[in-house]
């Protein structure tokens, strides 16, 4: 069969082969460039109990459940983020911490979340630490707050093995957001 002097089966076969090479090359690049090395790094890390790597259209999401050895949420997160960043290079990724929470830990977080999110702007971290410890203690848990230049880390643990880990991004200094009458947002650089 021909169309304007071109053989349609040959064109179709070339098109299918081109698609197969394109998608096969993309699959191989992902698998050998960062998926296997990322799996190796996470599987060998003593701070990681379990993990799952998910791809979506814009970035790779790395879901991590920390082991009982992770006593300091900030240090554990920073280590995992650094190792993941080395493997991923310029490929966009996001780390999500998986918690084994229960209703009492969720309630403790709820009781302190207003102060936590207020700290993103006001930087009242001692107040956050005291509120988190108090809310956790009321629920029979231990509460810890860690802060670095990028995040606020909330760690609540109960003796029965339930735990809640939250990493809340801080606002970048110099990008203070002012709300004006609820209508608009203005940024100051």
Distance between CA atoms of 142 and 157, rounded to whole angstroms? Answer: 5
Distance between CA atoms of 163 and 108, rounded to whole angstroms? Answer: 11
pLDDT for 33 equals 56
- Element of type H or E holding 169: strand 163-169
Is residue 49 within 8 A of residue 70, CB to CB? The reply is no
What's the Cα-to-Cα distance from 149 to each of 146, 161, 169, 184, rounded to whole Å?
10, 30, 9, 27
β-strands 163-169, 6-7: how paired?
A: unpaired
Torsion of CA 82, 86, 92, 98, to 10 degrees: -40
Global confidence as pTM: 0.71
**183 — phi, psi (to 5°)?**
-95, -35
- Residue range 63-104, pLDDT digits in tens: 999 887 788 999 999 999 998 888 888 888 888 999 888 999
- Residue range 7-66, pLDDT digits in tens: 777 777 777 777 767 666 665 555 555 677 788 888 888 888 888 888 877 888 889 998
Q: Is the pLDDT of residue 1 over 80?
A: no
Neighbours of 78 (CB within 10 A): 16
Q: Is the pLDDT of residue 133 over 90?
A: yes
DSSP state of 44: H
**30 — phi, psi (to 5°)?**
-60, -45
């Amino acid at each position: 069969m021909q169309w304007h002097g071109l053989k349609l089966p040959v064109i179709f076969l070339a098109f299918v082969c081109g698609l197969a090479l394109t998608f096969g090359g993309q699959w191989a690049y992902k698998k050998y460039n960062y998926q296997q090395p990322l799996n190796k790094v996470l599987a060998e890390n003593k701070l990681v109990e379990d993990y799952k790597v998910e791809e979506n259209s814009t970035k790779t999401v790395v879901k991590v459940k920390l082991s009982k050895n992770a006593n300091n949420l900030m240090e554990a997160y920073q280590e995992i983020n650094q190792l993941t960043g080395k493997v991923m290079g310029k490929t966009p990724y996001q780390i999500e911490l998986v918690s084994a929470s229960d209703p009492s830990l969720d309630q403790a977080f709820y009781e302190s979340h207003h102060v936590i999110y207020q700290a993103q702007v006001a930087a009242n971290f001692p107040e956050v630490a005291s509120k988190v410890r108090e809310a956790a203690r009321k629920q029979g848990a231990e509460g810890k707050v860690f802060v670095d230049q990028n995040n606020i880390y909330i760690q609540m643990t109960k003796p029965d093995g339930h735990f809640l880990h939250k990493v809340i991004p801080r606002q970048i200094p110099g990008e203070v957001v002012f709300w004006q009458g609820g209508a608009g947002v203005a940024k100051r650089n």
